[in-house]
Structure 1
Amino acid sequence: MQRTKLMLCVLLVIFIITNLVQSKNTKPHILFILADDFGYNDIGYHGSEIKTPNLDKLAGEGIKLENYYVQPICTPTRSQLLSGRYQIHTGLQHGIIWPSQPNGLPLDSPILPQKLKESGYSTHAVGKWHVGFYKKEYLPTSRGFDSYFGYLTGSEDYYTHHRCYDSMCGTDLRENAIPANYSGVYSTYLFAEKSADIVKNHNADQPLFLYLPFQSVHAPLQVPEKYLQPYMHIKDKKRRMYAGMVSAMDEAIGNLTEVFKQKGIWNNTLLVFSTDNGGQILEGGNNYPLRGWKASLWEGGMHGVGFVHGQMLKRKGVVSKALMHVTDWYPTLVSLVGGDLNGTKPLDGVDQWKTINEGTLSNPRKAILHNIDPLFKPLGHKLPKSPFDNRVRAAIRMGDWKLITGSPGNGSWVPPPSVKSQPDIEAQFEPPEKNIWLFNITADPYEHKDVSHIRTDVVMQMLDLLAQYNKTAVPCRYPKMDDKANPKYLGGYWGPWL
């Protein structure tokens, strides 16, 4: 009898200790994967000829975000993801940050990893930075990441990790704040391996935030030969190379999820996958049937590929049509882990967790300011009595409606090269001075029917909304290039120079 009581006491103690250990980390681990220049028509579940079995499986088990928007180019998406703020509120309204440009995401408000650290997270970044590095204060390890491995500029060679810009050449690879040399190792392999090491060495009792912005599938088009074999039927060389690069990335993501499983933390991991902008048609990417491509204000430039996966999701295997923007990840993830937004500048992102997870009908996001770029060359003539200068390059979404002003970029509908049809050149017959387009994106997602001449009331309403946003804009910062950034002065590496 005494022995039985003793055994029960031992089992009770073991049960209590086990639950205490398990309760050390009730917050989800977060794996945020950002693909570079990954087009709408480049993922399997959108009907692409490119095979993405791992991404398809993860998305199929999770929630596909089919009304999700990013920015048309690299720096803007990354800056808004990390800050939760529109470009007009960070001074990064124009273009990207070039390698020799003394510019960066402002230090005046904590970015996402800093807020997650406040909630007890171990924070790590592996891959492309591209939000400024001209001073040490702008490096990832100075901005909330416990560790960093990757490159600081916008693109480089996948094997040598070398970058040339405006006659300046150097290696762009860092381990934390120190230059690193991994010449000869394909970056998709390298970043996946470094990410796996972080997971393997992580203390599972502490929540993990792993930010993995892959180099893939940005130009230059480079990939190990074995990934080309499934695509020899694709005659277009760029498309074939691009497809191989996508497959290499898909494989790396599948391998990384296995590491999470082996570590025993996969069931408590939220995975977020997103592209940073539309595919680059000139480098093998494709966004068909969406209109336009990377760097344009058409849907092909910024209608993002995105999904979430995790055992904690209340809904699985579903599609979300809720309007969502890349700025929303900041407040959504901070709220999810029980954090607060104290100390931040006013955010433009909204907490979307209930909308995503529960499918609530009440979406806190009613509009998206895609951008207002005051430095882009004005186009055409100003509309009489317009509250906003419609010659300025800008775009805004309000409910079902999308308005574009100024010069939006190439607006062709371009099918993949394997489709035996010519690009739809309908857009080329528009007057060259045209600078206003209005679409009902819900009814016309491919932007075939401009109704700006019919719904002038909606045009004026949205121009007024642009004017209101513009009043809150900070001055655009786009400094001149600085010769002191030349790697020849910095030991042959790109890095802080001021």
Structure 2
Amino acid sequence: MAVYALTGFSLVSLLSFGYLSWDWMKPSLVADVATDPMEKSLPPTFTRPPHIIFILTDDQGYHDIGYHGSDIQTPTLDRLAAEGVKLENYYIQPICTPSRSQLITGRYQIHTGLQHSIIRPRQPNCLPLDQVTLPQKLQEAGYSTHMVGKWHLGFYKKECLPTRRGFDTFLGSLTGNVDYYTYDNCDGPDVCGYDLHEGEDVAWDQSGKYSTFLYAQRVSKILASHSPKEPIFIYVAFQAVHTPLQSPKEYIYRYRSMGNVARRKYAAMVTCMDEAVKNITWALKKYGYYDNSVIVFSTDNGGQTFSGGSNWPLRGRKGTYWEGGVRGIGFVHSPLIKRKRRTSWALVHITDWYPTLVSLARGNLSNVQGLDGYDVWPAISEGKESPRTEILHNIDPLYNHAKYGSLEDGFGIWNTAVQASIRVGEWKLLTGDPGYSDWIPPQTLTNFPGSWWNLERLTDGLRKSVWLFNITADPYERYDLSEQRPDVVRSLLMRLVHYNRTAIPVRYPAENPRAHPDFNGGAWGPWASEDDGEEWEGGRESLKSRNKKKKKCKICKLRSFFRKLNTRLMSNRI
């Protein structure tokens, strides 16, 4: 009772935060803004394919946007969402590479071999080369295609690079985690390199520029140099708000009253990103694109609660299959939407953007087989029912098997030790080890986690391997119904069996020493020649060699962990 009393108190305290004011006419620090980017636009035109701007943020928590009751200022995102359609039944994947791969291919990760973890910098792995990507389909439809920001879909061969996968231009990082100013990325002790690329070349001259500023300015330059009479697709994959927690001091000053240091830095990064979106929207208006544009905003996974993020009141965090890991922030803003200024509860998944955007572009989908996404534009624009009724969150056969799972617990049809999750209608099933399962309040206290660490810490699930929730009635996953509804459990297990039969082998190869940046002039980049075979065909390395490597590198990993932890907590360059 005491625990839930504290929970109630924390929620009331959070709701007591007033909405922080914001001056929409104040010049931005990202670029000079002379007018309000949201001023009333001209009537929409439907005679030409729309310009498409897809904005993806990194590690932004479900709670970390103004219209979800956050203590973080996001006036631009709030207003864009309010004037468009908020997607409140929108799902993504729990970590970086899977979400990005599903956006670009329109396929579940079990159908691309990327169902385990992420693509790491030294792995000879990338988005399968036989997949026709979203930008490639848009190119076929006559679009100019551009990418700005984080790729994280592999780069060991030049064929894997964004400019070889459908983008006319690219400015950004290839790996998953770089310094916001220096663009350095370390993949372990003494394995560090520079990672900012312009096209297929290393962009050494851009070092020192804060990435959120740099990317927003590049989008403006692209729009300024292109004709609004010709359709354009810009994929803006902000590095923000992934660690390291770094932000210009001007933004941190606004949150000086926040006691928790990580939350303060994180909030500053979110607001800086929000202002970058403001400037992109203003550029769309200034250069004549806005009236025939579609802006899609999406997060890539749940927030990292140990680094300032918050998914409250959802359960779990980034890297888990609880709602806090897979339910995303999403909205669409466009003058072309027929029913604006509303909230949609239509079921939407990140794979749906592929067929939706290609259809909007009047592209051809008849020659694309095996898509897992649906065209959800009628549901978004007109309020029609979503064609999607279920989502396979994932099946990961390589993830650590749950200690207490078994084939017997899965009615003899599914081994419940395997990490998997699926939603069908109102029901959501999880098997195996879904990941860190607590409800974590926003880090409002100076000493968080401190005594709050155990506020709602669960111990009753340690011996479980099956969970069932009515996610519509219980979106916070507090009432497990697996024992009361074995019929539903069995039905959803059958769906997992069905999907598993269509899965291709996992591609998760051993790291290659040739990837070391020292062999590439100090920068991360392709290291395999075009004649090299698909080194990852056949799956992962042997368990024996992997265990041997783990034993040798145990101390190295501990050192790396504490070095990164110290950097997050003690860094003065914020």
The TM-score with structure 2 as length reference comes to 0.81
| Residue aligning to 1:474 | 504
Q: Deviations over 1:153-180 (max 9, x none)?
A: 0010000001111231110011011110
Cα deviation, residue 345, structure 1: 3.6
Q: Give the whole-Å Cα distance in 2 for the aligned partners of 1:123 and 1:398.
A: 35
1:240 aligns with 2:264: yes
**Structure 1 letter corresponding to 2:163:** T
Q: Give the whole-Å Cα distance in 1 for the aligned partners of 2:455 and 2:490.
A: 29
Task: Please state whether the residue corresponding to 1:428 is helix, strand or coil.
Answer: coil
User: Does the 8 Å CA contact 2:93/2:99 hold for their aligned counterparts?
Assistant: yes
Q: Give the whole-Å Cα distance in 2 for the aligned partners of 1:260 and 1:431.
A: 50
| Residue aligning to 2:201 | 178
| Residue aligning to 1:495 | 525
| Residue aligning to 2:169 | 147
User: Does the 8 Å CA contact 1:412/1:423 hold for their aligned counterparts?
Assistant: no
1:45 aligns with 2:67: yes
Q: Flag as ranges the 4+ runs of structure 1 deviating above 4 A.
A: 22-25, 423-427
Cα deviation, residue 343, structure 1: 3.6
**Structure 1 letter corresponding to 2:491:** Q
Cα deviation, residue 232, structure 1: 1.1
Task: Please state whether the residue corresponding to 1:422 is helix, strand or coil.
Answer: helix
Cα deviation, residue 342, structure 1: 3.8
**Structure 2 letter corresponding to 1:120:** G
* The one of 376, 390, 394 aligned to 1:371: 394
User: Does the 8 Å CA contact 1:188/1:216 hold for their aligned counterparts?
Assistant: yes
| Residue aligning to 1:387 | 413
Q: Give the whole-Å Cα distance in 2 for the aligned partners of 1:395 and 1:425.
A: 26
Cα deviation, residue 344, structure 1: 2.6
**Structure 1 letter corresponding to 2:511:** M
Task: Please state whether the residue corresponding to 1:127 is helix, strand or coil.
Answer: strand
1:437-456 correspondence runs (5 A): 437-456=467-486
* The one of 282, 299, 302 aligned to 1:278: 302
Q: Deviations over 1:295-339 (max 9, x none)?
A: 001000010000000000001110000111000000001111111
1:262-411 correspondence runs (5 A): 262-361=286-385, 363-379=386-402, 380-384=404-408, 385-411=411-437
| Residue aligning to 1:134 | 156
**Structure 2 letter corresponding to 1:233:** S
**Structure 1 letter corresponding to 2:232:** L
**Structure 1 letter corresponding to 2:516:** N
User: Does the 8 Å CA contact 1:396/1:466 hold for their aligned counterparts?
Assistant: yes
Q: Give the whole-Å Cα distance in 2 for the aligned partners of 1:392 and 1:277.
A: 21
Q: Give the whole-Å Cα distance in 1 for the aligned partners of 2:345 and 2:464.
A: 31
Q: Give the whole-Å Cα distance in 2 for the aligned partners of 1:175 and 1:344.
A: 30
Instruction: Mark the runs of 5 or more structure 2 residues left unpaired by the alignment.
Output: 1-43, 529-574
Cα deviation, residue 25, structure 1: 6.8
Q: Give the whole-Å Cα distance in 2 for the aligned partners of 1:480 and 1:248.
A: 37
Specify whether residues 476 and 130 from structure 1 end up closer, same or farther in structure 2 by C-alpha distance, changes over 3 A only: same
Q: Give the whole-Å Cα distance in 2 for the aligned partners of 1:352 and 1:333.
A: 9
Q: Give the whole-Å Cα distance in 1 for the aligned partners of 2:132 and 2:47.
A: 24
User: Does the 8 Å CA contact 1:413/1:424 hold for their aligned counterparts?
Assistant: no
* The one of 222, 230, 241 aligned to 2:254: 230
User: Does the 8 Å CA contact 1:24/1:205 hold for their aligned counterparts?
Assistant: no
| Residue aligning to 1:100 | 122
Q: Give the whole-Å Cα distance in 2 for the aligned partners of 1:409 and 1:329.
A: 27
Q: Give the whole-Å Cα distance in 2 for the aligned partners of 1:58 and 1:381.
A: 45
User: Does the 8 Å CA contact 1:110/1:343 hold for their aligned counterparts?
Assistant: no
Task: Please state whether the residue corresponding to 1:149 is helix, strand or coil.
Answer: strand
1:35 aligns with 2:35: no
| Residue aligning to 1:15 | none
* The one of 209, 218, 221 aligned to 1:194: 218
1:114 aligns with 2:136: yes
- Structure 1 residues 51-60 or 161-170, which shifts more? 161-170
Q: Give the whole-Å Cα distance in 2 for the aligned partners of 1:382 and 1:163.
A: 40
Task: Please state whether the residue corresponding to 1:193 is helix, strand or coil.
Answer: helix
User: Does the 8 Å CA contact 2:422/2:428 hold for their aligned counterparts?
Assistant: yes
**Structure 2 letter corresponding to 1:393:** Q
Specify whether residues 286 and 72 from structure 1 end up closer, same or farther in structure 2 by C-alpha distance, changes over 3 A only: same
Cα deviation, residue 222, structure 1: 0.3
User: Does the 8 Å CA contact 1:25/1:206 hold for their aligned counterparts?
Assistant: no
User: Does the 8 Å CA contact 1:159/1:187 hold for their aligned counterparts?
Assistant: yes
User: Does the 8 Å CA contact 2:417/2:432 hold for their aligned counterparts?
Assistant: yes
The TM-score with structure 1 as length reference comes to 0.94
Q: Deviations over 1:390-415 (max 9, x none)?
A: 11000000000000000011111111
**Structure 2 letter corresponding to 1:414:** I
Q: Deviations over 1:427-459 (max 9, x none)?
A: 522142311000000000000000001000000
| Residue aligning to 1:14 | none
Cα deviation, residue 381, structure 1: 2.8
Q: Give the whole-Å Cα distance in 2 for the aligned partners of 1:425 and 1:436.
A: 24
State the superposition RMSD in angstroms. 1.5
Task: Please state whether the residue corresponding to 2:185 is helix, strand or coil.
Answer: strand
| Residue aligning to 1:165 | 187
**Structure 1 letter corresponding to 2:52:** I
Q: Deviations over 1:72-109 (max 9, x none)?
A: 00000000000000000000000000010111110112
Specify whether residues 424 and 454 from structure 1 end up closer, same or farther in structure 2 by C-alpha distance, changes over 3 A only: farther
Q: Give the whole-Å Cα distance in 2 for the aligned partners of 1:47 and 1:254.
A: 20
| Residue aligning to 2:109 | 87
Cα deviation, residue 265, structure 1: 1.2
| Residue aligning to 2:90 | 68
- Structure 1 residues 334-343 or 70-79, which shifts more? 334-343
| Residue aligning to 1:6 | none
Q: Deviations over 1:362-412 (max 9, x none)?
A: x21010000000101111231523311111000000000000000011111
* The one of 233, 242, 251 aligned to 1:209: 233
Task: Please state whether the residue corresponding to 2:243 is helix, strand or coil.
Answer: coil
Q: Deviations over 1:38-61 (max 9, x none)?
A: 100100000000000000000000
| Residue aligning to 2:489 | 459
Task: Please state whether the residue corresponding to 2:107 is helix, strand or coil.
Answer: coil
Q: Give the whole-Å Cα distance in 2 for the aligned partners of 1:25 and 1:39.
A: 38
Q: Give the whole-Å Cα distance in 2 for the aligned partners of 1:248 and 1:335.
A: 33
Cα deviation, residue 273, structure 1: 0.2
